[in-house]
Chain A
Amino acid sequence: MTETATILETSVLEIQDLSVSFDINGRRVPVVEGVSLVIPRGKTVALVGESGCGKSVTALSVLRLLPEPPACVDSGRILLAASTASSENGTVDLLRLRDAALRHVRGARVAMVFQEPLTALHPVMPAGAQIVEAIQLHENVSQRDAKTKAIALLDDVGIDKPDQCFSAYTHELSGGMRQRVMIAMALAADPEVLIADEPTTALDSVVQAQILDLLAKLQAARGLGVLMITHDLGVVSRVADEVSVMYAGHIVEHATTQELFANPQHPYTVGLMQCVPRITANAPTRLTVIEGSVPRPESKPAGCAFHPRCLLARQRASEPEMDTIALEPPATTSVPRRCAQAASTITSSGTPELREISTGHFVACWETADAHH
């Protein structure tokens, strides 16, 4: 416990070395491998990646919302710092909590906002009743007080007529309103951490911006630690203080938002950024894409999982002198240039690990890490 206490001095939630696998037709398939994330108090950390990279699985495993089976958390710790409000709770590992204790964390200390509010909200329960329930699950208040608080929350999340919205059903609300209700419900028991799993993906772009502004406002007002799961770099640049980029179950790069956008290192991050369309004065250029798609977890390539799509790896592989380099024994001090070796060697050289290349900037790539040594 002493060790974890020091780790959690400035952070509110830490995911340490999380590995999750799924049982697919009797085979254990790793989906998240050794993911670590730190959410500082009052900051937003974004977890970015393409669909299927494991970012939602990471988010869901924090509150143990994955169906087990088929999912299985193989290793790791998810540490929630001792709450500032009540000192009787020390740091807890959410992965080791019993059901009853976990229920006091869910919604109360760590809350979630889901991607598709239409299906995530209850279809036959009015919006207000759902928020009242979230309040009463964690606070011993009367129905009337809970209702007053729920209406205040609806007001906080920017709903015009909170009284009307209170008694409205999910299908009667617009997409943006639904997500606001979802956020109000998440904040009902004053959590310390908010996990937002693609909260704006199902919304149109104007509403997206409004919801992001709302989240930023609420976060500042309440000092929330936010884990924002998204595939949208626009969202990242708008709300995140720090970014982790995820690919095929691994974090491949982590930095502050400013640093990442100014100085992306991993070829995957670079690729992602080139995918974002830009409006420039020049004639429109072709949109760059990262060729191929995220490998399925059950058929992940050996070695660096990104190498089949990596421009750097491909460039090196086509250089004629590459073979001679590969034959040289690697110098003991330098990182072996494994991407530069023949394809057969790439696959046998294991997964690159995260290395700190400058303060707070971590990259998991044979090539870029090498360049900085």
Chain B
Amino acid sequence: MTRMLVRRLLAGLLTIACIYAITFTMVVSIPGNPFQQGQHRLSSDVESALLARYHMDNNWLYFWEFLRGAVRLDFGPTFTYADWTCNQIIAASLPISMSIGLAAMLIALMVGVPIGVTSAVRRHSWLDISATTLILTGISLPTFVTGSALLIAVGVKLQLAPVGGWGTLSHLPLPAITLSLPFMAYIVRLTRAGMIDALSADFVRTAIAKGASRQRVIWRHALPVALLPVLSFLGPATAQAVTGSFVVEKVFGIPGMGQHFVNAALNRDPGLLLGAVLVFSTLLVAFNIVVDLLYAALDPRISEAL
């Protein structure tokens, strides 16, 4: 188990390094630099002095200098927001995105799993058919549609929640629900498929033959086996959810981290962009390792192979 953990951590570091290298290459290949933005042009002397100051005149040097800072968790200054460092921006926005993302995953699981189980148990019933339709809708509808619809219905018409902004707990539900919908759709689909498989398995017949009740067979015997594929989906999904969604943040006016991915790229702000990508990839690797550990805890057949 420890060996597996060490191996996974090393592999994770390698993954992050690769992501950094690829992202860096893309960042420096974008034409332009942060000092050419806006209306007023800097003189070429000032521009090249600034570039030299931040090692951006030499890609190799910049690659290593940024990396040196990054391993000390220092992503340097941002060139978009005056008086802010990248660290401060991430520290301010990541907790917001995290709370929305974790709430979204929680909603997705708590609603998705029971719906998936029920539609597997009552296959081809009206409930199953409407759930399946909902899944398709959930996967196909972009969040700016579902988000705006929720906002108009709950925020504007019913006035049950604020239409946007951030600060109190009442700001959480709408963006969290919006963000949860596509994840929920996948979870319903995975749970349903897993349950249909599990319910036709021999061990379920054994449980019935033992005298276990229908509910016990479904929740105690079939579900733990059916949830394994859901678990593998949760790793990358959670990493994605907690690093924020640009669209959800735009619709609800939330100062989360998702916007920085897009804005930093548009503003040619390499520090913030690389910082955001590194935070995302670290979370992705971390959640995947957590999922692997959970997987091993749930399925002894896996833990043996590790």
Contact = CB atoms under 8 A, between A and B. Distances in A.
A122 B212 CA distance: 13
Interface string B180-219: 0000000000000000000011110111111111100000
B98 to A, nearest CB: 31
A105 B210 CA distance: 9
Interface in A119-151: 119-126, 133-134, 137-138
B211 A137 contact: yes
Contact of A124 (B202, B214, B300): B300
Interface stretch (A107-115, A265-273, A323-331, A336-344): A107-115
B134 interface: no
B225 interface: yes
B135 to A, nearest CB: 25
A15 B12 CA distance: 62
Interface string B232-245: 00000000000000
B300 A171 contact: yes
A65 interface: yes
B209 A107 contact: yes
A106 B200 CA distance: 19
A104 interface: yes
B127 to A, nearest CB: 19
A116 B206 CA distance: 11
A133 B212 contact: yes
Given A108-B211, A119-B201, A137-B212, A124 B206 contact: no
B301 A169 contact: yes
Nearest to B200: A67
B57 interface: no
Given A169-B300, A171-B301, A123 B203 contact: yes
B229 interface: no
A169 to B, nearest CB: 4
B205 A114 contact: yes
Contacts of A123: 203, 225, 299, 301
B211 A124 contact: no
Contacts of A119: 201-203
A106 B205 CA distance: 11
Nearest to B209: A112
Contact of B211 (A104, A125, A182): A104
A105 B300 CA distance: 32
Contacts, number: 76
B226 to A, nearest CB: 11
Given A107-B209, A133-B212, A137-B211, A114 B299 contact: no
Contact of A121 (B200, B203, B300): B203
A63 interface: yes
Contacts of A104: 211
B253 interface: no
Nearest to B214: A99
Given A169-B300, A171-B300, A171-B301, A120 B203 contact: yes
Given A123-B301, A124-B298, A171-B300, A133 B210 contact: yes
Contacts of B225: 122-124
Contact of A122 (B200, B206, B214): B206
Contacts of B200: 67
A185 interface: yes
A-B complex: 3 closest residue pairs judged by Cβ atoms = A107-B211, A119-B202, A106-B211
17 contacts: A67-B200, A99-B214, A106-B211, A107-B209, A120-B206, A122-B203, A122-B221, A122-B225, A123-B203, A124-B225, A125-B224, A133-B212, A137-B210, A169-B300, A169-B301, A185-B206, A189-B211
Given A122-B207, A124-B298, 16 more contacts: A65-B209, A67-B200, A99-B214, A103-B212, A106-B211, A111-B210, A112-B209, A114-B202, A120-B202, A120-B203, A120-B206, A133-B210, A133-B212, A171-B304, A172-B300, A189-B211
